[in-house]
Amino acid sequence: QESPHLYTREEVRAHSSPETRIWVTLGCEVFDVTEFVDLHPGGPSKLMLAAGGPLEPFWALYAVHNQPHVRELLAQYKVGELSPEDKEPFTLKTSDPYSDDPVRHPALKVNSQRPFNAEPPPELLTENYITPNPIFFTRNHLPVPNLDPETYRLHVVGPPEGQSLSLSLNDLYQFPKHEITVTLQCAGNRRSEMTRFKEVKGLEWNTGAISTARWAGARLCDVLAKAGHQLCETEAHVCFEGLDSDPTGTAYGASIPLARAMDPEAEVLLAYEMNGQPLPRDHGFPVRVVVPGVVGARHVKWLGKVSVEPEESYSHWQRRDYKGFSPSVDWDTVDFDSAPSIQELPVQSAITEPKDGETVQSGEVTIKGYAWSGGGRAVVRVDVSLDGGLTWQVAELDGEEPRPRKAWAWRLWQLQASVPAGKKELNIVCKAVDDSYNVQPDTVAPIWNLRGVLSNAWHRVHVRVAP
Ligand code: HEM
Ligand code: MTE
């Protein structure tokens, strides 16, 4: 075996632009990643932050890289090693960016620690119609900011003929307080079922990237009106910026159409309370956006800025993520500009009891779950099958009676079914129908997509029957 080329950190540093080629280090190894920059799933600009230096401080922020397939990919680009005097492994001198994250409830199933992403286990998820704050699913892309409620200001950019506002929490409390029950679902809920069919890129969510709370706050339409905004004929979008930001200072961002924001019936909130409490830090303290009926990604937490723009937010999460594609599209052919950003979500349901692989008693079985649809469409029925979809029974719906066109919250459902005598196993399936008669697809195959979003096929649970 040939001995590797040796380079000093100085030499590595000289390779930090396309002209000089782009080198990075990990441990004592040196890589030339010039050809990979444009292919980076997190975007070229993020990768370039590490150009000419160590990856460790950045990968400490994005633990998505701690996977064997990422290491293998990087290994292809190895060009040498650091020379002995520079071999001292890089250690982060500054403090851990996540060290200030809040303490979390031990019941949460953690899909990623840094940034923190976790879901309640199915047996707790549907115990309560309103999800208790400590087990509400959490989807963070960055460290949780620690904001002082005394100095917090929300910046609302006004139109030329209006006025920009800088609102303290107390200013927000002066707007009429509006309280509504809203279910929040991540576009990646049930992604693990897509992964089982064919690999996708993303966090492994099971059925718990969904939760329900009573949210209270000022209506966005009231705040926008105060700044002088009106509904306009031309297309416009309300862009939101979070106060959580990455090492370049780029904030989490997203947008919704102005028409939704200005519609009092759409009930978009700048929420400062969750189930009667100030928002917990993980859920956006002190203020977050709540967009009823719309994908979780637009409910921007730790809200810092609101502006009305002719175009959707330029954020990575609006333009390069949270979009759906044909099963035929892969990472070599994907054109993110060709697909609309996900806003309203499709009809969804899942079984939370019994659990896959469980053994149930013969005689009677209780089947429980949740069902929800986007855009304020009410769930009108949940069908359950014990034989993989050959025959069906209708489940009983619990929870708040939905208001017409404003069914923002889920229905919990249950079915008490008798287990056919002699059955050794059951293939339990559920599917929901909303008031537009939208239904769920029976399998994952036709809706599989490279990012693993919008996973709403019939939910299936296989159980054995105790003899
Ligand atoms: C995602 C590789 C540098 C930020 C990814 C993924 C790969 C990758 C393979 C997809 C992982 C998955 O979803 O399974 C690399 C390589 C790098 C590099 C080989 C260096 C040569 C960086 C740097 C940053 C960064 C320096 C940040 C400053 C991200 C982000 C994602 C990502 C934000 C997207 C995570 C998501 O989709 O939620 N990277 N990366 N990467 N990377 Fe990197
Ligand atoms: N807002 C900010 N500022 N930063 C984020 O990482 N994640 C979004 C959204 N708002 C996010 C954010 C996503 S993808 C989802 S699904 C929801 O917040 C999750 O909200 P929760 O953590 O309160 O459940």
Phi-psi bin for 179: left (phi > 0), alpha (psi -120 to 50), beta?
Answer: beta
Tokens (6 digits) for 73: 């990919």
Average pLDDT over residues 117-123: 93
Q: 426 pairs with which residues across the strands?
A: 463
Give the rounded percent of residues in the chain with a pLDDT score beyond 90: 87
Specify whether 141 is catalytic: no
Does residue 132 have a cis peptide bond before it, meaning omega lies within 30 degrees of 0? no
- What integer is the mean pLDDT of 153-179? 97
Is 316 tagged catalytic?
no
pLDDT tops 70 at residue 94: no
Token readout for 339 is: 């697909």
DSSP state of 152: -
**Which 8-state DSSP code applies to residue 420?**
P
Report the alpha-carbon distance of residue 33 to residue 26 in Å, rounded: 12
- pLDDT digits over 395-416, tens only? 999 988 999 999 999 999 999 9
Cα 328 to ligand 2 centroid, rounded to whole Å: 29
Q: State in Å: Cα 321 to ligand 1 middle.
A: 13
Alpha-carbon distance of 268 to 35, in angstroms, equals: 44
137 within ligand 2 shell (Cβ under 6 A): yes
**pLDDT tens sequence across 341-380:** 999 999 999 999 999 999 999 999 999 999 999 999 999 9
| H helix intervals, 87-205 | 122-125, 169-173, 191-197
Domains located in the chain, CATH noted:
6-86 (3.10.120.10), 109-335 (3.90.420.10), 348-465 (2.60.40.650)
Q: Name the least confident of 88-92, 269-273, 351-355, 446-450.
A: 88-92
Q: Could you give the CA distance from residue 251 to residue 241 in angstroms, rounded to a whole number?
A: 6
Residue 88: per-residue pLDDT: 66
Is the Cβ atom of 408 under 6 angstroms away from ligand 1?
no
Q: Which of 186, 221, 239, 430 is an active site residue?
A: 186
d(CA 40, CA 102): 30
Beta bridge mates, 30:
25, 80
Angle at 418 between CA 417 and CA 420, to 5 degrees: 130
Beta carbons of 340 and 295 less than 8 angstroms apart: no
pLDDT at 3 (0 to 100): 85
pLDDT value of residue 415: 98
CA distance 206 to 210: 10
> Given 7, 9, 15, 65, which residue is catalytic?
65
Atom of ligand 2 nearest to the CA of 186: 16
8-state DSSP, 283: G
Q: For residue 192, what pLDDT band results from cuts at 50, 70 and 90?
A: very high
Does a cis peptide bond (omega within 30 degrees of 0) precede residue 286?
A: yes
Q: Is 298 a catalytic residue?
A: no
Which of 5, 40, 69, 153 is the catalytic position? 40
Our answer on whether the CB atom of 279 is closer than 6 Å to any ligand 2 atom is: no
∠58-196-382 over CA atoms, to 5°?
115
Q: Mean pLDDT across the stretch 252-274?
A: 98
Is 186 catalytic? The answer is: yes
Ligand 2 geometric centre to CA of 271 (Å): 13
Alpha helices in 131-264 (DSSP H): 169-173, 191-197, 220-226, 258-262
Q: Is the pLDDT of residue 93 over 60?
A: no
77 lines ligand 1 (CB under 6 A): no
Q: Which ligand is nearest to the CA of 140?
A: 2
Mean pLDDT, residues 301-313 taken together? 98
Predicted confidence band of residue 202 (pLDDT cuts 50, 70, 90): confident
pLDDT in tens, 383-395: 999 999 999 999 9
Please state the length of the chain: 467
- Range picked from 36-45, 53-62, 139-148 for highest mean pLDDT: 139-148
Please name the helix (run of DSSP H) or strand (run of DSSP E) that holds residue 159, with its range, or none: none
φ and ψ at residue 35, rounded to 5 degrees: -75, -20
CA of residue 348 relative to chain centroid, distance = 16
DSSP letter at 210 equals: E
Ligand nearest to the CA of 189: 2
* Active-site annotation holder among 9, 15, 114, 139: 139
Nearest-CA residue for atom 8 of ligand 2: 297
Check the CA dihedral 91-95-97-98 and report its sign: positive
pLDDT band with cut points at 50, 70 and 90 for residue 90: low
Q: How far is the CA of 300 from the centre of ligand 2 (A)?
A: 6
pLDDT for 66: 87
Between the CA of 150 and the centroid of ligand 2 the distance, in Å, is 23
How far apart (Å, rounded) are the C-alpha atoms in residues 211 and 113? 19
> Which among 427, 261, 231 has a CA at the least distance from the CA of 343?
261
Q: Is the CB of 28 under 6 A from ligand 1?
A: no
- Please tell me the residue having the least CA distance from ligand 1 atom 37: 42
3-state percent breakdown (helix, strand, coil) of the chain, nearest 5 = 15, 30, 50
Ligand 1 contacts CB of residue 73 (under 6 A): yes
Name the pLDDT band for 252 (thresholds 50, 70, 90).
very high
How many C-beta atoms surround the C-beta of residue 146 within 10 A?
12
